[in-house]
Each structure stands twice: as C-alpha cells, then as structure tokens.
Chains A and B, each alone.
Chain A
Amino acid sequence: MLTRTLSWTAKEPGCKVTVANETDAELVQACLAGRREAFDAIVERHQRHVYQLCYRFAGNHEDANDLAQDVFIRAYRGLRTFKGQASLGTWLYRIGVNVCLNKVSGKARNEALDPLIAASDERTASTHESVADALLRGERAAQVRAAIAKLPKKQRATLVLRVYHDLPHDQIAGILGSSVGAVKANFFHALNNLKKLLT
C-alpha cells in the first residue's frame, strides 16, 4: 500500500546531517538566526528527495540538477515565509513542484522519448543483465517517461508525488493546493491517460 508520511532517513547517501539531532524546525530557526551551516544541513537532509522530484519532471540529470539547486535557492530566500504548519519536506516539495511545472519545457518531453538517453541513464541496472535486456528496459522506461511528460500538469504532479514519493493523498492536496477528492480524481485520470498513452 502506498502510504507513508514524510520522515526521511538521514542514513542514505546525500542525507548526511552535519548539524546533529536538530529537527527541521530548529534548523530553520538556526538559519534565520544567521547560522549558515544550518542551511547546509537542510540541503544535505533533503537534497536527494528534491533531486529525485526534479528528475521525474525533467527526465535528465543536468536539468534535474539545475532545478534542484533552484528549489533550494528559492527556499533559502523565502525561509522566513516557512511557518512550520507543514513539514519542511512538504514545503520543499511545494516549491519543487512549482519550479518544475513552470520551468520544464518540451525539451524534457523529447529527451524522455529517446530510448538511448534512457538506456544510458539506467545505471541501476544489474550488472548481470544482458545488453539487450538493458536496452529493452531502457526503451520501456523511455516510453513511460514520455507518456508521463504528456500528462496535464496537475495529473503529472499528482502521479509523481504519489507513485514515486509515496506521499499520502492529504499531503499531496496540501502541496498542490487541492482537496483530497481532487487529488484522487487527478490520480485516477493520470493513470487512465497513462494507460491510453502506453497502448
């Protein structure tokens, strides 16, 4: 079942925390008080998830890298507007979705269509997998990415947050400024459209 709340582990690569044991809210307060290393800790704690979100929209590492950096820069500049009503992770997702929806262009769609790019990106493939299997998998992944890139913005954002970030519907509703019912309807239509695009 796809339900969990945002409680990211600090044990993964990209999640090394240098300001030990401080909560996100404490890190925000420390940053606003002028402790620059507190923002470093925020970045280190959340960069993997922000990058992955951006990759889902951009479809390639270079653009995902630029988008993720943009998300953190905007977050830093707007840190005073973070009131702690949602978690910092949810707030960063909200910024990320807005940045991605506004900046990702047709370029990402075209790249997502290219099976060679997709195959070369599939670095997680098992070393025992044959080249033919890897290409086939890369081609299928390219088709799915291209289909997702063609979805309407809110459907795409809903699908990405639900399927790849495992967020509960109410949290997605908070990020997208929708109701839970609208999120579920969007998710259903996204899956329906995806099915049509893949057949």
Chain B
Amino acid sequence: MSHLSSAEFVDAAEGVLPPARTAHLQSCAACRDRIDEVTAALHAAAGVDVPEPSPLYWAHMAARIREQVAGETPREESWWQVPAVRRLVPFASAAAIVAAVVVTGIMSRGRHASAPLESAPVVAVVPADPAVQPDDSEAWQMLTSAADETPIEDVHAAGMGVSAGAVDRAVLRMTPEEVNALGQLLQKELRRSGA
C-alpha cells in the first residue's frame, strides 16, 4: 500500500485519518516517523501565545477606528467589484500582460532598428493624437488595477500564459492609432514602475 499523502499526514496528525489508511500507518514505520515529526512541529507552534494587551486596549482601539472612519460612509460598490466583472479579473490581467509584452517588444525593436528581424512586422507609428487620453478610460484603470493586485503566478495558474507568436499577431491586428495609444499607456506604466 502506498505511503500517506501530505493531506493524509495532516488528517492523521489531527486524528481523522480513514480506517483503511490507519491500517497502513500501523504497519509503516516511515509514515509513523513522519507523523511524529509533523506532530512535534504542531505542538511547538501551538505552544506560542499572543501576549494579552492591557484591558484598556480594546476600548482604545475601537475609539481609534471610530475616529478614523468618522465622516466616511461605506463606499458604493464600483462596477468592477460586481461579482460577474470580478470573475473577469484574471482575463483582464492576462490582457494587461499581453499589452505590456507588446509595447516592450515595440520599444525594443525601436532601439534595435539597425538590425531588424526579418519577420518583424512593420508598424506605422503616427503622431500622438492629443484627443486620445487612454489612461483616463475606465477599462484601462480596471486593467492596471487588476494587474497590480494579481500575482503573475495566479495568472499562469489560471492558464493565461501567452502563446508563442500571440503578441506579434495582436500587434498586426492593431491600427496605428491603437499601437500609438498603447505605447503611451505602457511607457507611462514603465516610468511609474521604474523599469
């Protein structure tokens, strides 16, 4: 019979291992040793208390919080906090990452213009249109907010990795105005992040 899994070790340490697996535990010295180690660590952790603050502390803390929220009201729920919209956050984060990669690629090509890749698409960069203020848009604010809050590991875990060539294809489908607007946004983000 196979050794206990990590979840089963936890069940065993907490006394809720199913009987079938308990039988294995009784016959397996290696698993028993492991349980002993886990249990010892559990007891070591459990023996550390949080010091009790002064009895007056609780009233003081409640008063401080009351002062800090005085004059505020609970915020109205933003449109991006609606559950259906929040479910789109991983996708929005992935889109933001794709956009970052696109512009990084564009900027990199610009720097290495003397040695262009043979397959590099030609993108016409038009002068900035002062009427276009993409960073004012709600969609962009949502993207940057989501990207700030979402670890890159979560994006990969959600299967939102960028496939090879996807960035080039995305660029090729953009109009020059879109590329220009994207460039403005991401240069601003790069400056903000100190990159």
Select the residue from B47, B50, B57, B81 with max chain A CB neighbours within 10 A. Answer: B50
Chain B residues in 8 Å Cβ range of A148: 45
Q: Which residues of A contact B7 (CB under 8 A)?
A: 181, 184-185, 188
The answer to the question of A81 belonging to the interface, with a C-beta cut-off of 8 Å to chain B, is: yes
Q: In the complex, which residues of chain B have a beta carbon less than 8 angstroms from the beta carbon of A68?
A: 61
Q: Please determine whether A194 and B77 come into contact, CB atoms closer than 8 angstroms.
A: no
**In the bound complex, what is the Cα–Cα distance between A163 and B61 (angstroms)?**
25
Whether A198 contacts B61 by the Cβ 8 Å rule is: no
Q: What's the minimum C-beta distance from A183 to chain B, rounded to whole angstroms?
A: 9
Assess whether A144 is interfacial by the CB under 8 Å rule.
yes
- Which residue of A is nearest B45, CB measured? A163
Are B48 and A194 in contact (CB-based, < 8 A)? no
Cβ-defined contact, B38 with A78, below 8 A: no
Partner of A77, one of B9, B13, B62, B75: B75
User: Which residues A153-194 have CB closer than 8 A to chain B?
Assistant: 159, 163-164, 169, 181, 184-185, 187-189, 191-192, 194
Which residue of chain B is the closest to A198 with respect to CB atoms?
A: B44
Give 6 nearest A-B pairs by CB, closest first: A14-B58, A184-B7, A188-B6, A79-B74, A195-B41, A191-B41
B interface with A by C-beta (< 8 Å): 6-7, 9-11, 13-16, 37-38, 40-42, 44-53, 55, 57-58, 61-62, 64-66, 68-69, 72-77, 81, 83
